[in-house]
Amino acid sequence: MKDEAKSRLHMSNPWHLLATGFGSGLSPFMPGTVGSLAAIPFWLLLIQLPWQLYSLLVMFSICIGVYLCHRTAKDMRVHDHGSIVWDEFVGMWITLMALPVNSWQWVVAGFVVFRILDIWKPWPIRWFDRNVHGGTGIMIDDIVAGVLSAGIIYLIGHYWPL
């Protein structure tokens, strides 16, 4: 069965292109997970920057994400459609800011922790997911999941080194 909401996406529209994580959110299988994986190559570019610029780009990505997720959801006529994965990109970038060292093992750990929290949505993530709407609502639960994931990774990396 064709997903009618997806048929309203136009990859020539820069908002749709970004909201779908450069098309990664169009995956028919686990688009949020695919979007989270697709964020990693961009993170590899971000870590080449001074941490202050990385932080500013993440904050800018949050701000622009509120608009582009809202706009794309409105165009699709579905709030937080699974193909909108810009929020996963930002959540992963926040999570990966806390890695004790930039190694593939820590990237995998960050990815797993973020995906578990994003899928499971324990409190307070679930509260934000249910009570905040629009573009802010699409973004905020993944931002909170990213912050909590970063905290977990930080604590493991600094107080229980693997």
Q: Is 71 exposed, middle or buried (0-12, 13-18, 19+ CB in 10 A)?
A: middle
The parent domain of residue 5 ranges over: 1-29+39-159
pTM: 0.94
Half-sphere exposure of 78 (CA within 13 A, CB side): 13
pLDDT of residue 1: 41
Q: What tens-digit pLDDT sequence spans the chain (162 residues)?
A: 458 989 999 999 999 999 999 999 999 999 999 999 999 999 999 999 999 999 999 999 999 999 999 999 999 999 889 999 999 999 999 999 999 999 999 999 999 999 999 999 999 999 999 999 999 999 999 999 999 999 999 999 988 765
User: Do the domain assignments include residue 57?
Assistant: yes
Q: Would you call the peptide bond into 124 cis, given omega within 30 degrees of 0 as the criterion?
A: yes
User: Do the domain assignments include residue 34?
Assistant: no
Please identify which residue in the block is written with the tokens 């993944």: 142
User: Do the domain assignments include residue 65?
Assistant: yes
User: Do the domain assignments include residue 8?
Assistant: yes
User: Do the domain assignments include residue 119?
Assistant: yes
User: Rounded to whole angstroms, how far apart are CA atoms 107 and 101?
Assistant: 9
User: Do the domain assignments include residue 117?
Assistant: yes
Number of domains composing the chain: 1
